[in-house]
């Protein structure tokens, strides 16, 4: 097809099924240009000439120096596979199983022929998550996942109220069953407690593995308590300093560098009551209290940080309410050796960074 008859605009579908008419812009290097009476002739390499000859174009075309060579050619819309990817779960469970999956949060347990749980996972939508296992594509899945799909005979579903409940249920099942194809979460995390105390009108908060005498404690938790303390500390600062906001906040607090012990000035009777209600599960009351006292935040960044920290605190307390398995048994907690403050906080001279 001559250059002046080439198509413009997006490629359209051809009458031949499975093909599309796609314009190819073939940029020819300057070394392949040769002068001619009509201006410049484009001399193509042998491999391109063979390709264009097969397409029915067997002559060179005169184009201006700044021009480009264009070709409308029939190409397949998709590459046909010589061998289809295996679908072991579809063969064993049937296509109807995947069509009837609920689009709800929950956990799924993959079992082998003798009903041993091989893998436990959680999903915001069980239908969407499990549809990823339909095709065992070796180019997109690792060998470990391919081995898992070859062994799965049955998938058990447990629907949950929301994603946070599914996450808590998954953590419980992982620690109880310890499936061989799961790597994270199968062993209990190191227990960490949020501890606090008052010294006159100053609140001190820290994170430790063993509470010390004279400190109130909340827990045990996992590594998420580090983010929880950072968010809670910033919210209390905003509540005490709504006009200055982050401009007068201690260095590093915006990025979670709080130190081993956080100190915050405040009214002991009023602030302690707010914290106790929060730790008892009254997240709505805490959100209302913070929102009321931070209405005068000036900077948009501080408002965004406040909203993000409120979400972190709320989700953390909701997960705490749903968690059923402790990080340590009651006997272990009761028999834990009480430590002095020096042994309780061995990193007083270092900064704690958020993971």
Task: Look at phi and psi of residue 18 and say left if phi exceeds 0, alpha if psi is from -120 to 50, else beta.
Answer: left
pLDDT reported for residue 10: 45
- Whether 119 shows a pLDDT value over 80: the answer reads yes
- Cα angle: 332, vertex 223, 262; to 5 degrees: 95
Question: What pTM was computed for the model?
Answer: 0.51
Q: Domain 88-177: give its CATH code.
A: 3.40.1440.10
Confidence class for position 84, pLDDT limits 50, 70, 90: confident
How far CA 139 is from CA of 55, 80, 119, 131, in Å, comes to 33, 16, 21, 17
Q: Name the strand (E) or helix (H) holding 35.
A: strand 33-36
pLDDT reported for residue 142: 86
- Whether 55 shows a pLDDT value over 50: the answer reads yes
**Crossing angle of the two packed helices 300-322 and 268-279, in degrees rounded to 10:** 50
**Range(s) within the chain of domains with CATH label 3.40.1440.10:** 88-177
Query: Measured between alpha carbons, how far is 232 from 247 in angstroms, rounded to an integer?
Result: 18
Q: What is the pLDDT of residues 214-259, one digit of tens each?
A: 899 988 888 889 999 999 999 999 998 888 888 899 988 988 888 8
Confidence class for position 330, pLDDT limits 50, 70, 90: very low
């Amino acid at each position: 097809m001559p250059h002046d008859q080439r198509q413009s605009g997006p490629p359209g579908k051809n009458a031949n099924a499975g093909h599309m008419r796609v314009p190819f812009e073939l940029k020819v290097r300057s070394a392949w240009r040769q002068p001619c009476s009509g201006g410049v002739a484009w001399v193509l390499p042998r491999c391109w000439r063979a390709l264009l000859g097969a397409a029915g174009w067997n002559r060179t075309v005169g184009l201006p120096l700044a021009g480009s060579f264009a070709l409308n050619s029939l190409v397949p819309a998709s590459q046909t596979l010589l061998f289809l990817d295996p679908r072991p779960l579809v063969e064993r469970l049937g296509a109807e199983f995947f069509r009837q999956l609920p689009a709800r949060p929950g956990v799924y347990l993959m079992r082998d022929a003798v009903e041993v749980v091989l893998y436990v996972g959680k999903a915001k939508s069980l239908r969407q998550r499990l549809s990823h296992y339909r095709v065992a594509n070796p180019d997109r899945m690792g060998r470990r996942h391919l081995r898992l799909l070859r062994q799965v005979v049955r998938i058990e579903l447990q629907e949950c109220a929301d994603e946070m409940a599914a996450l808590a249920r998954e953590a419980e099942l992982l620690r109880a069953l310890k499936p061989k194809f799961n790597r994270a979460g199968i062993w209990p995390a190191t227990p960490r407690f949020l501890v606090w105390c008052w010294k006159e009108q100053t609140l001190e908060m820290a994170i430790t593995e063993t509470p010390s005498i004279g400190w109130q404690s909340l827990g045990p938790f996992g590594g998420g308590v580090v983010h929880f303390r950072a968010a809670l500390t910033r919210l209390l600062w905003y509540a005490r300093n709504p006009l200055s906001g982050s401009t007068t906040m201690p260095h590093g607090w915006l990025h979670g560098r709080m130190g081993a012990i956080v100190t915050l000035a405040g009214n002991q009777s009023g602030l302690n009551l707010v914290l106790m209600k929060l730790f008892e599960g009254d997240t709505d009351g805490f959100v209302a209290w913070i929102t009321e006292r931070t209405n005068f935040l000036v900077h948009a960044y501080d408002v965004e940080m406040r909203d993000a920290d409120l979400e972190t605190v709320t989700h953390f307390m909701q997960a705490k309410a749903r968690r059923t398995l402790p990080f340590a048994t009651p006997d272990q907690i009761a028999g834990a050796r009480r430590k002095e403050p020096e042994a309780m906080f061995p990193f007083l001279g270092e900064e704690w960074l958020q993971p």
